[in-house]
Amino acid sequence: MFSQSGLLSARGCVICIVLSIGTTPRLLISHLVNFYIMNINFKYSFVNEVTEYKYLITHSQEYKQLRSVVWNPLYILLLLLFRKLYLSRAESAWKPIEPEVERAFKMLRLELPKDNLVCYVHSISCEGWYDPNKNCVHARITKCKNLGEFAGSVIHELLHLATYKNELDYNQREKIVDDYVARQPLSTIVRKIGDNPQDLS
pLDDT digits (tens, 9 = 90+) for 25-77: 544 444 433 456 789 999 999 999 999 999 999 999 999 889 899 999 999 99
The whole-number pLDDT of residue 145 equals: 85
Q: What does the pLDDT average to over 98-107?
A: 96
Considering the chain, what percentage of its residues have pLDDT values greater than 90?
A: 71
Q: Which has the higher per-residue pLDDT, 145 or 106? A: 106
Q: What does the pLDDT average to over 128-141?
A: 95
Q: Which residues contact 98 (CB under 8 A, 6 or more apart)?
A: 38, 39, 40
pTM over 0.85: no
- Long-range Cβ contacts of 55-59 (<8 Å, 24+ apart): 56/124, 56/125
- What's the CA dihedral at 45, 70, 142, 186 to 10 degrees? -100
In the predicted structure, residue 9 carries a pLDDT above the cut 60: no
> pLDDT per residue over 14-25, tens digit each?
444 444 445 455
List the domain boundaries for the chain: 4-33, 41-193
The whole-number pLDDT of residue 36 equals: 60
The whole-number pLDDT of residue 53 equals: 98
- What's the CA dihedral at 158, 191, 91, 174 to 10 degrees? 20
Alpha helix positions (H), 22-146: 25-33, 46-58, 60-63, 74-81, 83-94, 98-107
The whole-number pLDDT of residue 29 equals: 44
Selection from 5-19, 42-56, 111-125 with the highest mean pLDDT: 42-56
Mean pLDDT lowest among 5-19, 66-80, 104-118? 5-19
The whole-number pLDDT of residue 34 equals: 43
The whole-number pLDDT of residue 113 equals: 79
Instruction: List residues bridging with 138 in a β-sheet.
Output: 120, 129
